[in-house]
Amino acid sequence: MGKDFSSALRPAIVMTILFTVLLGLVYPLAMTGIGQAIFPSQANGSLVRDARGTVVGSTVVGQAFTADRYFQTRPSAAGKGYDGLASSGSNLGPAARALVDRLKPDIARRRAEGVSGPIPADLVTASGSGLDPDLSPAAALAQTSRIARVRGVPDERVRKLVVDATDASILGEPHVNVLALNRALDALPGTGPSGARLR
């Protein structure tokens, strides 16, 4: 066995080195090179810039929207909310008191905004990543009357934005990207100024 062991040592060490170079360096670096060349936007995070070139977000990653004039994103358990360096779900169980305690004020707030009837589940539940970029159409539509009121535009125009922005892939469930939706909202003629300028 001793001889077997030492004869196995060389391949074990050499193969570790060779595979590390191939799989740990050559492969990811080559993919980076090719990715940067062919799909530069996606490879760098699908970033969205405003007219001045400032990065305002990523089309694929969600960001916190809490203001009344925007479609608000789902509750987030990523850090203090939509923390790009601490993605996480709440991990609360289905009968956890902590979950109910979190839900109750959120639900009360929606009721106060005038949402009657059942509340769409995604509107008050935290996503798995804490960075969910989307809302279900129902959760978006539940917010249109508040937005229309704050922005002083007809509810139908806001609703139309939602319907237009809805992505109904058969592979997942229908969803709307909140960042795109809110940018469309800011672009609506005759509505209030965008959040950044207001502040």
Partner 1 sequence: MTLQGWFLILGFVALLLALTKPVGIWLFTLYEGRRTPLHVVLGPVERGFYKLAGIDPTVEQGWRRYALHMLLFNATLMAFTYAVLRLQGVLPGNPQGLAGLSPNLAFNTAISFTTNTNWQSYGGESTMSNLSQMLGLTIHNFLSAATGIALAFALFRGFARRESKAIGNFWADVTRVTLYVLLPISIVYALFLIASGVPQTMAGVVEVQTLEGAKQSLLLGPVASQEAIKMLGTNGGGFFNANSAHPFENPTALTNLMQMLSIFLIGFGLTWTFGKAVGNPRQGWAILSAMVILFLAGVTITYAQEAAGSPVLHHLGVTGGNMEGKEVRFGIAASALFSVVTTAASCGAVNSMHDSFTALGGLVPLFNMQLGEVVIGGVGAGIYGFLLFAILAVFVAGLMVGRTPEYVGKKIEAREVKLAVLAIAVLPLMILGLTALSSVLAQGLAGPLNRGPHGFSEILYAFTSAVGNNGSAFAGLTANTPYYNGLLGVAMWVGRFFIIVPMLAIAGGLAAKKYTPESAGSFPTTGGLWIGLLVGIVLILGGLTFLPSLALGPIADHLAMISGKLS
Q: How far is the CB of 69 from partner 1 (least distance, A)?
A: 9
CB contact set of 37 (below 8 Å; sequence gap of 6+): none
Fill in the DSSP letter of residue 73.
Answer: P
Half-sphere exposure of 75 (CA within 13 A, CB side): 19
Q: Are 44 and 166 in contact (CB under 8 A)?
A: no
Stretch near partner 1 under the rule CB under 8 A, chosen from 19-27, 145-153, 155-163: 19-27
Q: How many CB atoms lie within 10 A of CB 151?
A: 20
- Kindly tell me which residue out of 68, 100, 160, 193 binds partner 1, with binding defined by CB under 8 A: 100
d(C-alpha 158, C-alpha 125), whole Å: 23
Query: Among 2, 51, 53, 66, which residue sits at the site for partner 1 (rule: CB under 8 A)?
Result: 66
Residue 134 near partner 1 by CB under 8 A = yes
Residue 32 binds to partner 1 (criterion: CB under 8 A): yes
Query: Is-contact 177 135, C-beta < 8 A?
Result: no
Closer Cβ to partner 1, 92 or 148, answer by number: 92
User: Binders of partner 1 among 46-65, rule CB under 8 A?
Assistant: 46-47, 54-65
Nearer to partner 1, 57 or 144 (CB): 57
Sign, Cα dihedral of 56, 60, 64, 68:
positive
Q: Which stretch binds partner 1 (CB under 8 A): 79-87, 145-153, 156-164?
A: 79-87
Q: Are 134 and 73 in contact (CB under 8 A)?
A: no
In one-letter notation, the amino acid at residue 71 is: F
112 touching partner 1, by CB under 8 A: no
- Residue 55 C-beta: closest distance to partner 1, Å: 5
Smallest distance, partner 1 to C-beta of residue 157, A: 19
User: Using the rule CB under 8 A, is 10 a contact of partner 1?
Assistant: yes
138-177 binders of partner 1 (CB under 8 A):
139, 167, 169-173, 175
